[in-house]
Amino acid sequence: MSNKPNTYSAVAEVAYKRVRRSRLQRVKLGLSKAPPTAWFGMIVIFLYIFCALFAPLLAPYGEAEIFPEPFAPWSSEFIFGTDQIGRDILSRMIYGARNTVSIAVATTALAFLIGGSLGLAAAINMSWLDQFLSRLVDVLMAIPSLIFALVLLSIFGSTVTNLILIIAVLDSTRVFRLTRAVSLNVVVMDYVEAARLRGEGLGWIMRREILPNILPPLIAEFGLRFCFVFLTIAALSFLGVGIQPPTADWGSMVRENASLIMFAQYDLKAGLTPLLPAAAIALLTVAVNFVVDWFLHKTSGLRDEQ
Amino acid sequence: MSNKKTTKNQSLLEIKDLKIEGFSDEFWHPIIKGINVKLQRGEVMGLIGESGAGKSTLGLAAMGYTQPGCRITGGSISFDGQELIGMPEHKKRKLWGTRITYVAQSAAASFNPAHRLINQATAAKIRAKISDEKSAKEDARELFKTLQLPEHNTIGDRYPHQVSGGQLQRVMTAMAMSPRPDLIIFDEPTTALDVTTQVEVLAAMKDIVKEFNTAAIYITHDLAVVAQMADFIKVLRYGEEVEQANTRIMLDTPEKEYTKSLWSVRSINKKEEKSDDIVLSLKNIDASYGGGIKVLDDVSINVSRGKTLAVVGESGSGKSTAARVITGLLPQQNGQILFNNIELPKTLRGRSKDQKRQIQMIYQMADTAMNPKQTVGEIIGRPLEFYLNLNANEKEKRTIELLELIELDETFIDRLPSELSGGQKQRICIARAIAADPEVIICDEVTSALDQIVQEGILKLLMKLQKELGITYIFITHDISTVKAISDEVVVMFQGKVVEQGLKSQIFSPPHPKYTELLLSSVPEMDPDWLSNLISSRN
């Protein structure tokens, strides 16, 4: 360390400068260190997205194409057989990826938009707005959400828009609480006070000062919330108020073919049929959770370069 | 009790050619590069140097301990004839807390908030079965008395949050003393305290070390403090020993250039200038948080244009609250603030953009004053764009000018705050404040978290900027030597009231009001006899 000057100089003060890496390099570095579970999760999610995007090309038959034989057994013509009115199960499962996943993504995104922005605003404002929103959220959360969603869907009708709006609003309560809680730790920082003193508006403080600092827990929550939304939609569809026929959807497919499970003692394959869409739901949920776990593990550590 | 087998010729602690490395950025970097220490029973060694010099690492190594991410790569540490390097953990644990004890910098962060003080102070002793619970507590109460803690018989039954910071630091010293150790390591034990409290804690520690003939290592960056405590001083820099000498010799005739530069830090002395041009004036301000107790009570302060006004007082005196009222963060209940003879609206919301621009603020903790996700360029660039509407090119040009003004260069523009040292961070905060081209800058304890040598750099920079740009500073601090160094005028505050205001020379020359007298006499001086003289004169 002979290059250290003997007198004091501000530029020469000891500080540790990280290696500069481009975004692509950082992504590559991150991926190269991902555990096998995360890889599994990412591959599964990728396959689902692929199915959703290219459903018309991948599916052997149309989404609502009806064939003469209902409850057909597994065969080379209908790989997983047909359902109660003679539609090809495999085709409907591939289309189901498109419908169910896209509705779940849209709902989660909307829930984050509502809950996230209100949570940030409440944390920054800290007065009547915070009180009002927090109590409102308490009231909403006091009502069991599945039953509440059932009631609202019966009142307003089961259209896709209503489904997205209602579940998004109900789920935004949890996003609100998380965002508010993590923002409160950041709001007390001097740099937020400095921005306020400068005269910055609410929007700037929300987007530029606070949001970048609370992003990791929010992204992780997005993954988890997506799973819950997905399951809620499937449950609602199973109960008959979710996605309506003839649109293919995994939740309603389980319900429509549920009676087949009783035939498992005669034909094992027929008994498995209603479990296929359920397995599709389960697999995606597990895959998303694996990826979220890895992400949380990565961001919870303070060092991101090791 | 402990088996004191040491013969007279053998040192209590002997560290030979110690080397320690720390892990960062995928490599091992040397932190301590071959240091020797010899400490006899009853001796106090002062360890000084700036941050990153390896003081704390060496202090911990004297216990045979290294922080996670560090490893000892060479040398030997021998305590009372036993080699600590390579000693099994369970044997070391028998020494720790009984024969070697440690007093940490932040007592508030080191106590468990869920247990009563006396239980924590006696835990190590009881665990080591040195004495039973009853006599250990009896002894702890005696120590509390020696350390001049109030209500020494019952204070131990309180929880950490029920006593003040200075009291907590003394309880921690009592905890360290309670097993009558052979060696105590003090790691900056008074840095977080007010000067008036610091004196009491120092006096108590000095007495107790003498009384029990304990050896101690005293780590600090405050030279005046180490002058009171240590028998000899070791100066460290970059993990190497610069020099070591008896305290008196070291203070009078330091040999090395670096040591001399450390000693000269307190030599800045700005010539005071008088001015009648008032830029900002507080008139009869009352303020409180949530309508409770008055934190500011009838406070009137005048600030002269282009000059430095120092506001001094200990914690709780209302000096930071005054800053919050001036900036509009805390609307006052009574009184008015005049800026260039125009009344400022009470709330931040009511003030115009230009009024906000005119008063800027620099914070104590530069770490939390900068968004960790924004680069230096963004941090300094924002006020330029926000107040002065500069476009991208002008902004970058001005940012580089500002960086040069604060003695950094354009290579810093894409760094994140985590890639800056403490002094550099504070410089960036200064640049952000001057970027707005303000009339007044409020500096809230801006140097108190920094090493002396870095402090000096920051103070010189602030004075240079004042000369060049004619900025007015309101300098809030509890450090009297800083006040002496840079102020023109001084306001002394105590319990929300202004004790006195006047030119520096008036405030620092007698006769003083009672509180000012106490405050001024508590500032440590670079004289090894200062503390003993002060204590005897106060008694």
Confidence tier at B529 by pLDDT (50, 70, 90) = confident
Same domain assignment for residues B220 and B305? no
Where a domain ends, among B237, B267, B297?
Answer: B267
Taking chain A, what is the end-to-end CA distance rounded to the nearest angstrom? 25
What's the pLDDT tens digit per position in B326-338?
998 888 888 999 9
Contact criterion met (CB below 8 Å) for B103 and B190: no
Span B346-369, pLDDT tens digits: 888 889 999 999 999 999 888 889
Report the pLDDT value the prediction gives residue A302, as an integer from 0 to 100.
Answer: 41
- The residue that leads in pLDDT, A303 or A184, is A184
Q: Are residues B238 and B135 in the same domain?
A: yes
- pLDDT for residue A303 is more than 60: no
Q: Kindly tell me if the per-residue pLDDT of B1 is higher than 50.
A: no
* B247 plus B321 within the same structural domain: no
Binary contact (A213, B373; C-beta < 8 A): yes
Q: Do B45 and B156 sit in the same domain of this protein?
A: yes
Residues B120 and B212 in one domain: yes
- CA dist B473 and B464 (Å) reads 12
pLDDT above 90 as % of chain B: 20
Residue B61 lies in a domain: yes
Q: In the predicted model, what is the mean pLDDT of chain B?
A: 85
Q: Report residue B154's pLDDT band, with 50, 70 and 90 as the boundaries.
A: confident
Tokens 């932040």 — which residue?
B106
CA distance B481 to B270: 12
List phi, psi (to 5°) of B19. Answer: -125, 130
Whether B261 and A212 lie within 8 Å, measured CB to CB: no
Residue B538 covered by a domain: no
What pLDDT does B377 receive?
Answer: 92
Which residues span the domain enclosing B244?
A: 13-267
Express each pLDDT in A54-95 by its tens digit.
888 888 888 878 888 877 777 877 878 888 788 888 888 899
At residue B398 the predicted structure's pLDDT band, cuts being 50, 70 and 90, is: very high
In a domain, B141, yes or no: yes
Residues B261 and B388 in one domain: no
CA B258 to chain centre: 21
pLDDT at B346: 87
Q: What is the mean pLDDT of residues B316-345?
A: 89
Neighbours of A155 (CB within 10 A): 9
B481 and B269 in contact (C-beta within 8 Å)? no
- Among the residue ranges A220-234, B2-16, B459-473, the one predicted with the least confidence is B2-16
A301 interface with B at CB cutoff 8 Å: no
- Calpha distance A86→B487 (Å, rounded): 90
Nearest CB to A10; choose among B408, B415, B418: B408
Q: In terms of domains, do B259 and B303 share one?
A: no
DSSP state of A66: B
Distance between CA atoms of residues A238 and A273, nearest Å: 15
Per-residue pLDDT, A10:
67
CA torsion sign for B124, B2, B201, B65 is negative
pLDDT beyond 80 at B538: no
Q: Is B256 on the interface with A (CB under 8 A)?
A: no
Is B346 touching A (CB cutoff 8 A)? no
pLDDT at site A4: 43
Q: What does B15-82 look like in DSSP terms, one character per residue?
A: EEEEEEEEEETTEEEEEEEEEEEEE-TT-EEEEE--TTSSHHHHHHHTTT---TTEEEEEEEEEETTE
At residue B361, the pLDDT reads 93
> Do B187 and B294 belong to one domain?
no
Residue A106: the pLDDT is: 93
The shortest C-alpha distance from B321 to chain A (Å) reads 14
Torsion sign, CA atoms B325, B328, B333, B337: positive
Reported as a pLDDT band with limits 50, 70 and 90, residue A3 is very low
Torsion sign (Cα): A253, A254, A255, A259: positive
pLDDT for A7 equals 52
Those of residues 89-128 in B touching chain A at CB distance below 8 A are none
List beta partners, residue B282. B301, B337
Q: Is B356 or B480 the better-scoring residue by pLDDT?
A: B356
pLDDT tens, B267-291? Answer: 677 778 877 888 999 999 998 887 6
Residue A6 has pLDDT above 70, yes or no: no
Is residue B9 very low, low, confident or very high in pLDDT (cuts 50, 70, 90)?
Answer: low
Two structure tokens written together for A135: 């109590």
B418: which chain A residues are within 8 Å (Cβ-Cβ)?
Answer: 18
Q: Does residue B412 share a domain with residue B348?
A: yes
Q: Mean pLDDT, to the nearest integer, of B407-420? A: 86
Find, in chain A, the residue whose alpha carbon is nearest to that of B329: A197
Name the domain boundary from B267, B301, B324.
Answer: B267
Is pLDDT above 90 for B66? no
**ipTM computed for the complex:** 0.76
Residue B482 lies in a domain: yes
The band of A2, judged by pLDDT with boundaries at 50, 70 and 90, is very low
Q: Do B419 and A7 touch (CB under 8 A)?
A: no
Instruction: Reply yes or no on whether the pLDDT at A200 is more than 80.
Output: yes
Count of CB pairs separated by less than 8 Å, A with B: 91
pTM over 0.80, yes/no = no
**Does pLDDT of B19 surpass 70?**
yes
Q: Does A11 touch chain B (CB under 8 A)?
A: yes
Whether B321 is in a domain gets the answer yes
SS3 at position B333: coil
* Domains (range + CATH), chain A: 39-300 (1.10.3720.10)
Which chain B residues touch A7 with a CB distance below 8 Å?
Answer: 261
Q: What is the pLDDT of residue A5?
A: 44
| DSSP per-residue string spanning A206-252 | IIIIIHHHHHHHHHHHHHHHHHHHHHHHHHHHHHTSSSPTTS--HHH
Structural contact between residues B311 and B493, judged by C-beta atoms closer than 8 angstroms: yes
Say what percent of chain A tops pLDDT 90. Answer: 31
B152 found inside a domain? yes
- Burial tier of A40 (Cβ tally within 10 Å: 0-12, 13-18, 19+): middle
The CATH number linked to B101 is: 3.40.50.300
CB atoms within 10 A of CB A76: 5
Per the structure, the count of domains in chain B is 2
- Mutation choice for A interface testing from B349, B373, B404, B419 by most A CBs within 10 A: B373
* Dist. CA A287–CA B167, nearest whole Å: 54
Alpha-carbon distance of B350 to B328, in angstroms, equals 9
Position B383 pLDDT exceeds 60: yes
B411 and B464 in a single domain? The answer is yes
Interface of B with A in 429-448 (CB under 8 A): 432, 436
pLDDT at residue A18, as a whole number: 65
Say yes or no: B260 and B284 in one domain.
no
| Rounded average pLDDT over B181-207 | 83
Mark yes or no for CB contact B368/A199 under 8 Å.
no
B175 and B204 in a single domain? The answer is yes
Of B267, B287, B310, which residue constitutes the final position of a domain? B267
**For B231-247, how does the pLDDT look when each residue is reduced to its tens digit (9 = 90+)?**
999 988 888 888 888 88
Task: Retrieve residue B127's tokens.
Answer: 């665990």
Which residues on B lie below 8 Å from A187 (Cβ)?
A: none
